[in-house]
Structure 1
């Protein structure tokens, strides 16, 4: 079974900490992947098609006021969930992972907010516990520290396996949103 992943970067600035962490995460999965920087204004329809085609979606976002970025929120607001007559559900039953970045460790609960939306509203399967990286996880050059790289790689490997398990479980992928 060949898998594919989609990484969405919710930073308004391409190539930042979220992008750096996502690259290491996806590399560790061993699964072919595509990365889309939402700050570069991709076509919304192309994004929806990419999410539909992928076996797993990774949401990499900076944390603003203990929440995901507005770019991630805009993507989700424009994504149907197969409820109430909607024709599409690109995240339904899909393996997803959360990678939040922020300056301070105290904002780690932002991961829970996005997890709740993905799992309950979209019926996506979310790799827990999620990943939160703060300023101390990066060196002065903007690269991940060795310890952080190990942590990110562990989550990436787990997501590669998780994606295969979710894709191979039709009863799981058939679950619908709460309402």
Structure 2
């Protein structure tokens, strides 16, 4: 199965939104689900802004998304919307780029008041790209993703629990299940003339 694509829409690294993405990646790995990170900030800026899908790095990113059975998108919230960097990437995707895929949106912002950006800004764009199922998003305020003295981010227990539930829901999606063993041989066909019934 191709890996789940993890899209980091933050213009900075490290970042709180990427910390959420890292937690999801770790939890998927525990379920033997492979992931592939895509940091949009590492794509060539000129090609990204010009929507030049012929540029090799952009082309590889679009191909990775096309192959992925599911996508996790993480973004900081700026001015009640997802990042402009993520918008530039989503804008260059072809119509129906998310068709047949499950999508888990993640976001971080300065206060709980920005939580609605997931539903009112990001979700409509994901729907317009044809996502099969958009899972309930996970939003975290900056206070819930604390910066440690060592420069790492630490998630509050309640937030970690919500991410665990989100990963459970994502893993339950049919496209992420391990393929079943092929069914064994069935019964031999029975001629109609030999069928006996009673009433």
Interval containing the TM-score (normalised by the shorter chain): 0.7 to 0.9
Distance (whole Å) between structure 1 residues aligned to residue 94 and residue 134 of structure 2 = 21
What is the Cα-based RMSD across aligned positions, in Å?
Answer: 2.1
* Equivalent runs, 1:1-179 vs 2, <5 Å: 2=1, 4-29=3-28, 30=31, 31-41=33-43, 43-81=57-95, 89-112=96-119, 113-119=121-127, 121-141=128-148, 142-162=153-173, 164=175
More strand by proportion, 1 or 2? 2
Structure 2: stretches of 5+ with no match in the other structure: 45-56, 180-199
1:126: how far off? 3.5
What CA distance in whole angstroms lies between the structure 1 residues aligned with 2:86 and 2:133? 16
Spell out, residue by residue over 1:91-148, the C-alpha distance to the aligned partner (whole angstroms, 9 max, x if none): 11211110011111100111012111111x1110243321111112123412111221
Q: Helix, strand or coil: the match of 1:155?
A: helix
Q: Is 134-143 or 47-56 further displaced after alignment?
A: 134-143
Q: TM-score, normalised by structure 1?
A: 0.81
Moved more, 55-64 or 133-142: 133-142
**Cα shift at 1:157:** 1.8
SS of aligned partner of 1:15: coil
**Rg larger for:** 2
3-state SS of paired residue (2:38): strand
